[in-house]
Amino acid sequence: MSDLSGRTVLITGAAGGIGTAMAERFAAAGARLALVDIGDASDLAARLGPDNRTYSLDLGDPAAIAETVARIGAEMGIDVLVNNAGVGMVFPAETADLAAWDLTMNINLRAPWLVAAAALPFLKASGRGRIINISSQAGLVAIDEHAAYGASKAGLILLTKIQALEWARFGITANSIAPTVVETPMALVGWSGEKGVKARQEIPVGRFAKPSEIAAAAVFLAGEDAGIINGETLVADGGFTIR
């Protein structure tokens, strides 16, 4: 495991399934955590160590993003940014649901851009900054009823490449992770029954990803051993997109 002692990791969506696994893995690697969520992550922060802090943030509010990230940077510094928060609204491409489309784009694509931009001064100051954006297999291949979600995640992959290109000169790397369905409580409800059985059958390894596997990938990308990896997408989909 990477040694991240002395580094501050900002994780958005920290109170959710993948976010909680991220927090646990980064804490085990020695990092200090800034746990960001619209919900309450204080119990998680306390459980993982006395130096961790929580910040309540609505990622749909650009002004709140700028204020909160600046406060985190001033109070803790930012060495690693994990843009994990996202929404998974799905509907057919023919459905003109503007509210769902805008919410998906605002949380899945605009927010990671704004959080990273606000964190940039602190990532520069770190001299070894890391950005890890959580995308999806839906950003790589077409999936039924994933027009908004897939477009947002594809956009996030390209945003990652541009961040990698523009900010490498500051000692910052930017990479994304594209998982298959991850076994969070919400996903297990959404992919239950026949739908879930069929989806697993389409994955060569025959199962969904575990939150701990995605967290382990993020910790690797944050560590020194991944310093040469920049602008890449680590596909954690059990082989779903290789066919």
Catalytic residue selected from 26, 55, 101, 149: 149
Of 109, 4, 136, the residue nearest 117 (C-alpha): 109
* Residue 149 annotated among the catalytic residues of the structure: yes
Half-sphere exposure of 119 (CA within 13 A, CB side): 32
148 contacts 93 by C-beta, under 8 angstroms: no
Query: What gap in Å lies between CA 143 and CA 64, rounded to an integer?
Result: 33
Query: What gap in Å lies between CA 27 and CA 86, rounded to an integer?
Result: 22
Side by side, which strands form the sheet with 53-56? 53-56, 32-37, 8-12, 80-83, 130-134, 173-179, 233-236
| Residues labelled catalytic | 149
